[in-house]
Amino acid sequence: EPAGEDFGINGNVIGGGAQKQAHDEADIPPTVGKHKPDLEAERLRKKAADQPKKKPQEDSKKVIDPPANFEENPGELGKPVRLPKEMSEEMKKAVDDGWTKNAFNQYVSDLISVHRTLPDPRDAWCKDEARYLTNLPKTDVIICFHNEAWTVLLRTVHSVLDRSPEHLIGKIILVDDYSDMPHLKRQLEDYFAAYPKVQIIRGQKREGLIRARILGANHAKSPVLTYLDSHCECTEGWLEPLLDRIARNSSTVVCPVIDVINDETLEYHYRDSGGVNVGGFDWNLQFSWHPVPERERKRHNSTAEPVYSPTMAGGLFSIDREFFDRLGTYDSGFDIWGGENLELSFKTWMCGGTLEIVPCSHVGHIFRKRSPYKWRSGVNVLKKNSVRLAEVWMDEYSQYYYHRIGNDKGDWGDVSDRRKLRNDLKCKSFKWYLDNIYPELFIPGDSVAHGEIRNLGYGGRTCLDAPAGKKHQKKAVGTYPCHRQGGNQYWMLSKAGEIRRDDSCLDYAGKDVTLFGCHGGKGNQFWTYRENTKQLHHGTSGKCLAISESKDKLLMEECNQSLSRQQWTLENYDSS
Ligand code: UD2
Ligand code: MN
């Protein structure tokens, strides 16, 4: 066991004064962990209690302890930590500060042990050790971060060390993508000096997560690479089921089930394997989750068996190092964030590999509602990454993405190397991938019309418009001046009579016209375009879609052929 855990015992764990300082004992294991002898913790706790508390420095915020009656060992077993309703002004400020910097509740994280215990989320099926090969390969674990909260980063690393068989971990490679938070400087080396498996690599400039991951891979030596985000927690038995799949077939790329660590309470939330989802994407090239499709369910006897997934979420996976190299790792032309998960997913499938989600392996991740760090100014990096992806891997299907972004592709740089890679590897076509790996995806070219839906009334410059929303969350659909940029004005009229945006359908139940998850049952989602009168006729109500005179509202009214406000044109209309 490392002996250096008393760094920061006096509340100095969070360095430099820019951050709220940690709760005094946050870094000392408070309970008997399965892998941690408690004696050492007890010794450290005593030692901490014996020492005078250091006064916070002039420029640092005062340590704000939780209220006197606050629960002991908050967050153990993944339980939620709720701050009191009544907080001092100082505490409130510290809490707000943590949210601003991280887009999650850093204050709560700082109250929780970095060795906290978690529930065991595995199905009983998974606990039979005979299911896994005995001679599993070692993995290096690569964790890239840019300005990660101290306790969150530490908890990520400790969860790997505390809950993985020692002999299966080569190195833990921390790649600092040019952070400027003071606690991530020298202090990180000091803290991990006592952990020989942990290696820290610093980028010399901001590279973004994709090149940071390539940098990490360049330092790896173990036969398998495992990537994690810097705000994760691994659970009991997470690693063996992943390595087992790669040991059996080195071209299998595997992802754990990603459990949700609540951004506010840090509660660890999981479901049993019946609730496992697989990854997909839409024509905006955004990743999305879906239930395991019927055809895939049929392949298995138990829901705990690994399932094929068309795509991966991106942050958490294991891959054979040589296979990753053969695939050309990542496209180093991808900047900061986004798209790399689809690139790796597409080429895994198209170039002879398999991508799976392994329900026996659970890793938690703090999902945030916004990105807390700076991106590049003046470039749309996500679009640039996505165009590179489309240019290299999507063949003629790239047009659907381009249409979606108003055919404004911007500058995506040079992709000739990546195309050569694809040719050299003799990878299959994107059509093959869609037909065989992701047949559930709705293809715009298979629809009756795709693009804008324009109203001909009041000057004919108004389009059907709806912001992208969450599936199955009813949202009123509106109108907006036509802008020819795709986006919120991109629609597809399916052969089944749906007006769709990806998995959402235009739905009318008698009140507002809304976007709702497509159910495939016609009814309130059934529309007919009458070519001769240009009306959009709604199935169950028999009414026609129109716009208000102010042009800012949709109306459903009795059909009347003479009203131009009931007339629409559909882009790329093809009734054949
Ligand atoms: C998801 C993935 C993430 C990545 C991303 C698409 C999961 C759980 N997360 O978004 O891993 O695939 O989709 O690109 O599947 N980082 C840097 N440098 C940067 C920006 C980020 O090192 O310039 C680090 C960051 O500290 C974090 C990781 O990269 O550890 C992923 O970033 P994120 O957490 O903001 O992405 P997330 O989870 O929203
Ligand atoms: Mn993340």
Mean pLDDT of 82-95: 93
pLDDT of residue 70: 83
Alpha-helical (H) ranges within 164-253 are 186-192, 209-218, 239-248
**What is the pLDDT confidence band of residue 469, given thresholds at 50, 70 and 90?**
low
Sign (positive/negative) of CA torsion 130, 136, 138, 144? negative
In this predicted structure, the answer to whether residue 5 has a pLDDT above a threshold of 50 is no
Closest alpha carbon to 556 in 529, 536, 528, 532: 536
ipTM score of complex: 0.99
**pLDDT score, position 546:** 97
Q: What is the pLDDT of residues 191-243, one digit of tens each?
A: 999 999 999 999 999 999 999 999 999 999 999 999 999 999 999 999 999 99
For the CA of 143, the nearest atom of ligand 1: 30
Q: What is the residue type of 186?
A: R
Rounded distance from Cα 400 to ligand 2 centre (Å): 28
Q: Which residues pair with 184 in a beta bridge?
A: none
pLDDT of residue 52: 40
Exposure string for 222-252, b = 16+ CB within 10 A, e = fewer: bbbbbbbbbbbbbbbbbbbbbbbbbbeebbb
Instruction: Give the torsion through C-alpha atoms of 28, 32, 35, 41, to 10 deg.
Output: 30
Q: Choose among 181, 202, 180, 183: nearest CA to 191.
A: 183
- Among 50-64, 320-334, 448-462, the range scoring the smallest mean pLDDT is 50-64
Q: How many residues does this entry show for the chain?
A: 576
pTM attached to this predicted model: 0.87
Mutation probe of ligand 1 site: the residue of 174, 213, 229 with most atoms within 8 A of C-beta: 229
Question: What is the distance between the alpha carbons of residues 184 and 145, in angstroms, rounded to a whole number?
Answer: 10
Q: What are phi and psi of 529, to 5 degrees?
A: -95, 120
Q: Which atom of ligand 1 is nearest the CA belonging to 175?
A: 22
* Average pLDDT of the segment spanning 178-191: 94
User: What is the tens place of the pLDDT at every residue in 372-411?
Assistant: 999 999 999 999 999 999 999 999 999 999 999 999 999 9
Look at residue 71 in the predicted model and tell me its pLDDT: 86
Report the C-alpha gap between 430 and 423 in whole angstroms: 13
Tell me the helix, strand and coil percentages in the chain, rounded to 5.
30, 20, 50
- Averaged over 232-257, what is the pLDDT? 98
Checking if the pLDDT of 175 tops 60, the result is yes
The pair of structure tokens assigned to 547 is 């716009």
In the chain, what percentage of residues exceed pLDDT 70? 87
Helix 340-350 crosses helix 209-218 at what angle (to 10 degrees)?
A: 60
Residue 145 Cα, ligand 1 centroid: separation in angstroms? 8
| Dihedral of alpha carbons 265, 467, 229, 121, sign | positive
Given the CA of residue 148, which atom of ligand 1 is nearest to it?
26
Q: How far is ligand 1, taken at its centre, from the CA of residue 570, in Å?
A: 38
d(CA 426, CA 407): 29
Helix, strand, or coil (residue 474): coil
Rounded Cα–Cα distance for residues 497 and 500 (Å): 9
pLDDT of 69 > 90? The answer is no
- Summarize the confidence of residues 319-337 as an average pLDDT: 98
Question: Does 1 have pLDDT greater than 90?
Answer: no
**Ligand 2 being an ion, which residues bring their Cβ within 5 A of it?**
229
Residues with CB under 6 A from ligand 1: 144-146, 148, 177, 208-209, 212, 229-230, 258, 313-316, 336-338, 340-341, 365, 371, 373
Domains annotated on the chain, with CATH: 446-570 (2.80.10.50)
Closest-CA residue, ligand 1 atom 14, reads 338
Is pLDDT above 90 for 110?
yes
Dihedral sign computed on CA atoms, order 25, 30, 36, 41: positive
- Which residue from 317, 337, 369, 371 has its CB within 8 A of the most atoms of ligand 1, so it is best to mutate? 337
Helices (H) and strands (E) in the chain, counts: 14, 26
Q: CA nearest 200: which of 188, 187, 215, 218?
A: 188
Q: Is the pLDDT of residue 4 over 80?
A: no
Q: What's the average model confidence in pLDDT over 333-347? A: 98
Q: What is the pLDDT of residue 182?
A: 92
Please tell me the distance from the alpha carbon of residue 338 to that of residue 286, in angstroms, as a whole number. Answer: 9
Ligand 1, atom 7, lies closest to the CA of 315
Q: Which residues pair with 449 in a beta bridge?
A: 493
- pLDDT of 471 reads 54
Q: What is the pLDDT of residues 487-542, one digit of tens each?
A: 999 999 999 999 999 999 999 999 999 999 999 999 999 999 999 999 999 999 99
How far apart CA 121 and CA 360 sit, in angstroms, is: 8
Phi, psi at 557, each rounded to 5°: -135, 170
Cα–Cα distance list, 130 to 127, 133, 240, 242 (Å): 9, 7, 11, 15
DSSP 484: S
Output the 3-class SS for 332-401. Answer: CCCCECCCHHHHHHHHHHHCCCEEEEEEEEEEEEECCCCCCCCCCCCCCHHHHHHHHHHHHHCHHHHHHH
Do residues 377 and 336 make contact, with C-beta atoms less than 8 angstroms apart?
no
Instruction: Tell me the average pLDDT of the chain.
Output: 89
Pocket probe for ligand 1: among 144, 145, 202, 209, the residue whose CB has the most ligand atoms within 8 Å is 209
Name which residue sits closest to atom 12 of ligand 1, judged by CA.
314
pLDDT of residue 470: 57
Query: Token pair of 377, please?
Result: 């100014």
In the three-class reduction of DSSP (H, G, I as helix; E, B as strand; rest coil), residue 144 is classed as strand
Nearest atom, ligand 1, residue 230 CA:
30
Instruction: Find the helix packing angle between 340-350 and 381-393, rounded to 10°.
Output: 10
Share of the chain above pLDDT 90, in %: 85
For ligand 2, the distance from its centroid to the CA atom of residue 228, given in whole angstroms, is: 9
- Distance of CA 125 from the midpoint of ligand 2 (Å): 29
- Which is the closest atom of ligand 1 to the Cα of 373? 20
Q: Which atom of ligand 1 is nearest to the CA of 336?
A: 23
User: Would you place residue 54 in the very low, low, confident or very high pLDDT band (cuts 50, 70, 90)?
Assistant: very low
Q: Does residue 414 register a pLDDT over 50?
A: yes
Which pLDDT belongs to residue 318?
99
Average pLDDT over residues 44-55: 44
Which strands make up the sheet holding 449-451, listed edge to edge?
449-451, 491-493, 499-501, 504-508, 513-517, 475-476
* Beta strands at 568-570 and 453-455: parallel, antiparallel or unpaired: antiparallel
Question: What per-residue confidence (pLDDT) applies to 47?
Answer: 47
Q: Report pLDDT digits (tens) over 124-158.
A: 999 999 999 999 999 999 999 999 999 999 999 99
pLDDT of residue 3: 31
Distance in angstroms (rounded) separating the CA atoms of residues 443 and 238: 36
The yes-or-no verdict on residue 558 having pLDDT over 80 is: yes
Confidence grade of residue 476 (pLDDT, cut at 50, 70, 90): confident
**9-46 confidence digits (pLDDT tens):** 222 222 222 222 233 223 323 333 333 334 444 544 54
- Per-residue pLDDT tens over the stretch 563-575: 999 999 999 999 8
Report the C-alpha dihedral over residues 211, 331, 435, 574, rounded to 10 degrees.
Answer: 110
